[in-house]
Structure 1
Amino acid sequence: MIATPRETVLVNCTVFDAVAGSARADHAVWIGADGRFRAVGTADEVLPEARLTGAGIVDLAGGYVAPGLANMHVHLSLGLPGHLGDAVHRANLAELTLLMADSARRSLHAGVTTARLVGESRGADFALRKGIENGAVDGPRIFTAGQALCCTGGHGWDADALEADGADGFRRATRLQIRGGADLIKVCISGGIAGEHEHIHTPQLADDEMSAVIDVAHDWGRKVTAHAGPADSVRRAVELGLDCVEHGYELDDDVTRLMAERGVWYVPTIVVSRCRDFFEASGVPRWLMDRALGAGPRHWESLQLALRNGVPIAMGTDMPPHAEYDGTTATVRELEFMVEAGMTPLDALLSATIRPADWLGKLADLGSIDAGKHADLVVVDGDPSRDISALRTIHLVMKGGVVYRDDRGLSSTTTERAGFANTGSTP
């Protein structure tokens, strides 16, 4: 049975205001039967009118309420060489879709209510997105690039990136993703960690090829993000109109200043160059682990340069959002690393909430706890805008007014029990 939201008011909580960048104590959140926030304010302001609708009351016992997290670099069909890649490549399309659905469910339970997919396999992402939207599958709101684009033999070719060559080839490849339903376009413009026969600094696209992707995507109202390592490849793409950089393993002062000047976003995925335990558990080959961990110091410097020069940053992991990492998830650990690199906890929280909504063009619907927006939220024990590690205590996850995780059974206090699904589950 598909769970549907009901009129509900969350009380006895502190609410993080992502627009003002502050936490509001002793507040209440009214969620409507349409799965959107109806009102946010003090209990005295919210409860009288809400009670007229027969709304159930949920006591959050002093918890902190933050918007659901957005992870902006996700591969639900992650196919790194090793166990993960073997499972993906052996799977037929039905099996692959089920593997991705499981990862989507785990991601949602980890507090990720919005995921930007940046390269998937065989069109399964489009089917999964539809299943989630129809309520048949539990998962985050999906914005997907379809298949990533690469040159022949380029980064990701063995993970089902779509190969093309020449400006005309990349125009066609871009249009094929848009035809399939892509919300954005992902293009690989340099080498990376997971390509055996390349280096991170290997340039892989000519200017006319990058321009072809960007121009077609922009003509169709889609943004373009690029897998990129070296500063020179990033600079060329930024000058051609690129919208976002993934990884940026080897950025420099000049290119980060240019990115800030042009309003080009950065998704650093800093966890991927410091996740030895994940690589070992995934059985990746030694060359991949050595390359990834060896890139760590320079990758860290790139993030610090981006922070220093004011590049707009959104959080993304490249690792599965729910993957176990240092006693928490990859999503939360990424945010902690960003703070360790010099970002304030407030900015880190914004990089995983309202700022992704801005990049996605969904500020009217996502990213903050405001009337009219989708009721996507997490509940934690402390204030993550002051201590980002408070996100390690996520114990309740709601998307669209439906609770998908409730470790402490707080939702059972409501007088209207309907509208809660999978309560008590853990990531």
Structure 2
Amino acid sequence: MWLTDVRLVDLDLGAHAAAAVHVVDGRIDRIADAPPPEAPTLDLGGRFLLPGIVTVHTHLSIVFPFSDTDEDEDRALTALRSAERAHAALFAGATTVRCIHEQHRIDITVRDAARRGWFRAPRILAGGRALSTPDGHGQGTGSAYAKGADAFYAAAVAELEAGADHLKIFITGGLAHAGERPEVPEMTDAEIGAVVRAATEAGTYVVAHAGHHAAIRQALDQGVTSFEHAYVVDEATASLLARPGIFVSPTLSVTRSESWMRANHFEEHSIANAKAASGEHLASIQRLIAAGVTLTNGTDYPPGDDCDGVPAFVAEMGFMHGAGLSLRDTLRSATVNGAAVCRIDDEVGRVAPGYVADLIAVDDDPLADIAAMAGISFVMQDGVVLRDDRKGMR
């Protein structure tokens, strides 16, 4: 099938051009000026075509408010909640998500069910359960708890053996709990190093919840390559994070979504913590942008959730662009860069021959205004049209 009358957005050049895209057996076969005569076509009516969104800080099983979490919840309830959120994320345009902590390792279950074709979900990179100290940021969330290097290594191996694609650790406090502070370190060098060793032996990598530059430097020294939040980061650490192969998800949504938090019944202490952190969080991300750090899109919320009228991953794009990230780099954060941190950038994240046909389209030019991303009206996954608002398809 040929997708015709599209404006193909080039995320390398920051430009777009008229094109036709040939999709065969779930992949992009070729790109041309026009299809051959008599070829089957789907006319997109001049819409702007981009890769499907890759968003990399996802929690499908999370419960709001956090205090309602039941670590002993029936797995079936966890699965149903997570499957619905996965489905919503996909139809919103997030064709790939990276989960970085799910109760009962339910992301592995949902991933495997989707691979078997039992229901439609995004391409899921699963992290299983995050690894936390018993009294750390992950306490009460169904994390895997450990203390000491040997215990963290064993816990890491257990997640990998259960099917995790990567590992998640909490190296500092956060904003969720009363009295919690993101600058407080929660893991030793030996503990972080043990998790990195387990990941390296399995050919994968470690993602760190990281609130402060001191712990980020500590984790960089131990070989961690993917960082979340960066609530407080100085210029010197931003320069270190700008090294090739290092990725940061700013998750600006966490400190800029008070209306969403209230709609989801967050406790007042969580809202107050987020508001108090918002100014320095923004300044820290602006330092990362100035240093040229490779940024990725992550929401810390279910990515298909409605945040002030747009999907959470679109709200995050707006926050990142508002912090000073260029339009092109904001789009790359949610496509090219997301695929790269997940180590699947030879498969997804681009509209190019040989790549999986995970595609979205918007009515207006996203290189002129990031608000255009609120108008996703076409979603294709693996060459299958899942949504085309102009044709009434859902």
- TM range, smaller chain: over 0.9
The answer to whether 1:58 aligns with 2:49 is no
1:42 and 1:77 map into 2 onto residues whose CA distance is 44
1:14 to 7, 12, 32: 7
Change (3 A) 1:90 1:407: farther
SS in 2 for 1:335: helix
1:146 aligned partner: 128
1:159 and 1:17 map into 2 onto residues whose CA distance is 40
TM-superposed deviation, 1:91? 4.3
- Contact kept? 1:11, 1:60, Cα under 8 Å: yes
1:185 to 151, 160, 167: 167
Change (3 A) 1:88 1:344: farther
Q: Deviation digits for residues 198-244 of structure 1, max 9, x if unmatched?
A: 32111100111111111221121111110011111111111221101
Q: Deviation digits for residues 78-136 of structure 1, max 9, x if unmatched?
A: 13435xx6376584111211110000000001100000000001122111001111221
1:29 aligned partner: 21
2:387 aligned partner: 405
1:81 aligned partner: 65
TM-superposed deviation, 1:391? 0.7
Give the percent of matched residue pairs that are identical in Structure 1 and Structure 2.
35
- Contact kept? 2:52, 2:360, Cα under 8 Å: yes
For residue 47 of structure 1, what is the amino acid of its counterpart?
P
The answer to whether 1:307 aligns with 2:289 is yes
2:376 to 388, 394, 408: 394
2:203 aligned partner: 221
Q: Deviation digits for residues 19-75 of structure 1, max 9, x if unmatched?
A: 4443122x101111x2111111210xx425xx5xxx531111111111000111000
1:314 and 1:59 map into 2 onto residues whose CA distance is 31
SS in 2 for 1:295: helix
Write the mapping of 1:286-365 to structure 2, written as runs, cut at 5 A.
Answer: 286-365=268-347
The answer to whether 1:366 aligns with 2:366 is no
- Contact kept? 1:19, 1:368, Cα under 8 Å: no
1:413 aligned partner: none
Change (3 A) 1:261 1:355: closer
1:244 aligned partner: 226
For residue 16 of structure 1, what is the amino acid of its counterpart?
V
2:219 and 2:105 map into 1 onto residues whose CA distance is 27
Q: Which shifted more, 274-283 or 319-328?
A: 319-328
1:341 and 1:161 map into 2 onto residues whose CA distance is 32
1:414 aligned partner: none
The answer to whether 1:424 aligns with 2:393 is yes
1:15 and 1:176 map into 2 onto residues whose CA distance is 43
Q: Deviation digits for residues 138-170 of structure 1, max 9, x if unmatched?
A: 111000111001111111221111110000011
- Contact kept? 2:103, 2:129, Cα under 8 Å: yes
The answer to whether 1:38 aligns with 2:29 is yes
1:324 and 1:126 map into 2 onto residues whose CA distance is 25
Structure 2 unmatched ranges of 5 or more: none
Q: Which shifted more, 326-335 or 299-308?
A: 326-335
Change (3 A) 1:168 1:262: farther
TM-score (norm 2): 0.96
The answer to whether 1:194 aligns with 2:176 is yes
1:268 and 1:71 map into 2 onto residues whose CA distance is 12
User: RMSD in angstroms over aligned alpha carbons?
Assistant: 1.6
1:256 aligned partner: 238
Change (3 A) 1:61 1:364: same
1:47 aligned partner: 36
1:95 aligned partner: 77
TM-superposed deviation, 1:333? 1.1
Q: Which shifted more, 317-326 or 98-107?
A: 317-326
